[in-house]
Amino acid sequence: MALSVGIVGLPNVGKSTVFNALTAGKAEAANYPFCTIDPNVGVVPVPDPRLKQIQKHIPTQKVLPAIVEIVDIAGLVKGAAQGEGLGNKFLANIRETNAVLMMVRCFDDPNVIHVAGSVDPMRDIDIIDLELALSDVESLDKRLKKAQGAAKTGNKEGKAELAIVEKVHAHLAAGKSARSLPLPDDEKKLVSTWGLLTAKPVLYCCNVGEGDLPEGNQWSNLVKERASKEGAGVVILCGKVESELAELAEEDRGELLSSYGLTEPALATLARECYRLLGLQSYFTAGEKEIRAWTVRKGASAPEAAGVIHTDFEKGFIRAQVYSVADLEAHKNESAIKAAGKLRMEGKEYIVQDGDVMHFLFNV
């Protein structure tokens, strides 16, 4: 599964600058609203030191990390739900993503005009949240009419769905996000299929000035407080510094990172936070041709993990050979792991653990 994250925010908050840095793009964002008219999509690798650990013991032709699909979406303006700016086109683009990365301006720069005239991250977040909630209410209006029609026929499932739609609709109409509504697991699963914008997990990305790295400032502290109450994630970064880092080769970044008190570019932090928010983890396959990281949800079974590679692997799953990266570090190769009794044979009930190295046996 490819993880897809949509970067959203008001115009001139640094969205496109950060997008270009994350995807190692060199283009500079123009200093005016709607500089990204169509969503740009970038595929970026998820940094994972375990890949190098595996390659040290299993020489291979190529190493393929897990990926995050980053979608840079045109700047949102007040009134988008009513069609202002790019309106519904913008909102439709967000529906396709797994999570929302909300870029919040936490820097002051007289050369970069804020669309609302001043820096106020709480106001900016409220504007975006309101537009997303209004769009969700409109979307649920249609679902409500459909559910009402189904319920009138006496359909048991229709009546049950109507009750859930009414509950979520009332919550949204009160100006609250769908993700803040506590629901039992079965109802939550149903609501997750509706494509609601405010049901998506949110990662706040505070774009601060160079002098405010690595801890942030008074504005980003306010965002952290809000995120803590919502159970959302927060990443502090500086778009300008990320752009500079993107221009350098990986081995040349150390000095610049340390000068700002950083140990890694923001991408690594972003990827980890996205994984945490969405309850994801990685497992590995390793052989002569390639070492590869695969993304699965926490709690996935061995057949589900096999299905991420190919649906036929899941359908014809027999068993999986499993060991850990730690086992490989300790015993140096798979033959030694097997001799030490650390190579496990796992069946259909096995729950995949983060960092498992797996070989699947299947028939089709």
pLDDT in tens, 105-140: 999 988 887 777 789 999 999 888 888 888 889 889
201, 99 Cβ separation under 8 angstroms: yes
Asked if the model's pLDDT at residue 25 lies above 90, the reply is no
CA 234 to CA 121: how far, in whole Å?
13
Pairing of strands 290-297, 280-286: antiparallel
Q: How confident is residue 331, by pLDDT bands cut at 50, 70 and 90?
A: very high
Spans of all domains in the chain: 3-120+199-277, 299-362
Work out the number of other CB atoms within 10 angstroms of the CB of residue 148: 13
Q: Give percent of the chain above pLDDT 90.
A: 56
Tell me what pLDDT residue 75 has.
65
CA 264 to CA 284: how far, in whole Å?
23
Asked if the model's pLDDT at residue 87 lies above 50, the reply is no
Tell me what pLDDT residue 345 has.
98
Residue with tokens 């975006």: 128
The answer to which of 216-220, 267-271, 303-307, 345-349 has the lowest mean pLDDT is: 267-271
pTM, 2 dp: 0.84
Mean pLDDT, residues 229-233 taken together = 90
CATH for 299-362, options being 3.40.718.10, 3.90.1150.10, 3.10.20.30, 3.30.70.1290:
3.10.20.30
Structure tokens at 196: 């609601």
For 163-208, how does the pLDDT look when each residue is reduced to its tens digit (9 = 90+)? 999 999 999 988 788 988 999 999 998 998 898 989 999 999 999 9
Work out the number of other CB atoms within 10 angstroms of the CB of residue 5: 25
Mean pLDDT, residues 298-327 taken together = 97
81, 91 Cβ separation under 8 angstroms: yes
CA 135 to CA 88: how far, in whole Å?
8
Q: What kind of fold does domain 3-120+199-277 have according to CATH?
A: Rossmann fold (3.40.50)
For 236-264, how does the pLDDT look when each residue is reduced to its tens digit (9 = 90+)? 999 999 999 988 988 899 999 999 999 98
Question: What does the DSSP 8-state code read for residue 212?
Answer: G
Structure tokens at 204: 């706040």
Asked if the model's pLDDT at residue 82 lies above 60, the reply is no
Long-range contacts of 253-260, Cβ-Cβ distance < 8 Å, separation of 24 or more: 260/210, 260/213, 260/214
Asked if the model's pLDDT at residue 228 lies above 70, the reply is yes
